[in-house]
Amino acid sequence: MSETFALIYSSRFGEYSYGDFHPFKVDRYRLTYELMEQSGLVDLPQVKVVECPFVSEDMLLDFHRLDYLDTLKKFSMDDEPHANFFYGLGDVENPVFKGLYDWSRLMCGGTIEAVRQVTEHGCRAAFSMAGGWHHAHAARASGFSYLNDLVVAIKQLLKQGKRVVYVDIDAHHGDGVQEAFYSTDQVLTISIHENGKDFYPYSGFVDEVGSGDGYGYSVNIPLVSHSDDLIFEQAFQRVILPLIEGFAPDVLVTQMGADPLRTDPLTRLECTTAFMEYAGRQFLATDIPWVAIGGGGYDRLNVARTWTLLWATMIGEYVDDEFTSSLQATIAEIDEECFWLRDLPHMAAPDDFARAQQALDKNLSFIERCIFPLFNLSV
């Protein structure tokens, strides 16, 4: 395997919009790419930038139902208001707009291309920032997600006879991916997220461990609100990394949502940008072919900073904290004020940390007792 890294991107990402008042802003992709470019992380010998293609409809049918795809396609043909709540389409959460179907196919195509770059072109790792739509179901949009690029891509890997570990560090549980592979032992899904007791999508509890052949191959690490970087790092060391090693996959697929940051407007975790650099280092150190995919994040500058740091970590380049004057100008254009790439160190308040630690210890103990023996792991 070469030390080449593929960045999947397209200027077409910004040609669509969920609406001015929707929390998901597509311009985060342009901002991220500009930040990477101006930080000197694009024009490098080890980096190849690959234009994002559309996914084929045949691939979509490996997971999504034809009636759902037909409806999504029909609703995307004009600007008229459409809704079908059976399919989760047309509400405030999952609006319908002209071009939605093609835009979703583009997002999904980026994930497929990232897989292709790793499995067919020999790249050490690939990053597609536009994917990560882990809430979409076979015939229902959910959580801003219309097509589940992660499931579609993993199914292509399974067709090649590969075993896959999927790790989701988004603040929201990766419910659509878990559901798709809940009864198979060919995919190990691991999701670390804010507790679904009172947080969308209200799933991902520690006792959701898979069924049938998939028993033990669904692993969830729910975190209470105010969990910080140290809580994440403990979960990696005690559970996530040992399980990856124990499963010994052919390919590692990760969803790298930026919404665990403490300044994200939709979540209640207290991570800093350091958690993304840490995760990137740990995934790279596994030496497993790595497909990294974007995900959540509802402060666009947070997303851009976090994924720029992730990309730098992936390709082995260091970037300074202080923004250059050109970067500051780019940020000023979107009425933001930020002059540093990395967050300052932060820890949760003592009472909050104590509650987070207690909950983490309880959940990790359950996983170590009930899941580790299935992978011949000892505590």
Is 135 among the catalytic positions? yes
- pLDDT reading at 283 higher than 60: yes
β-bridge partners, 290: 125, 252
Per-residue model confidence (pLDDT) at position 1: 45
Per-residue model confidence (pLDDT) at position 336: 74
**pLDDT digit string (tens) for 195-234?**
999 999 999 999 999 999 999 999 999 999 999 999 999 9
Nearest-angstrom CA–CA distance, 232 and 342? 17
**pLDDT digit string (tens) for 162-188?**
999 999 999 999 999 999 999 999 999
Domains in the chain (CATH in brackets) are 5-375 (3.40.800.20)
Per-residue model confidence (pLDDT) at position 333: 77
Nearest by Cα to 274 from 198, 222, 344, 212: 344
Per-residue model confidence (pLDDT) at position 14: 87
- pLDDT reading at 40 higher than 50: yes
Three-state SS at 98: coil
Catalytic residue among 64, 135, 173, 193: 135
- pLDDT reading at 95 higher than 60: yes
**pLDDT digit string (tens) for 247-274?**
999 999 999 999 999 999 999 999 999 9
What mean pLDDT, rounded, does the chain reach? 96
Percent of the chain clearing pLDDT 90 (strictly above): 91
The residue ranges of DSSP E strands in 200-250, in sequence order, are 218-223
Q: Which long-range contacts (CB under 8 A, 24 or more apart) does 66-74 make?
A: 67/139, 68/138, 68/139, 68/140, 69/101, 72/100, 72/101, 72/104, 72/141, 72/146, 72/147, 73/101
Residue type (1 letter), 226? H
Give yes or no for a contact between 271 and 302, defined as CB atoms under 8 angstroms apart.
no
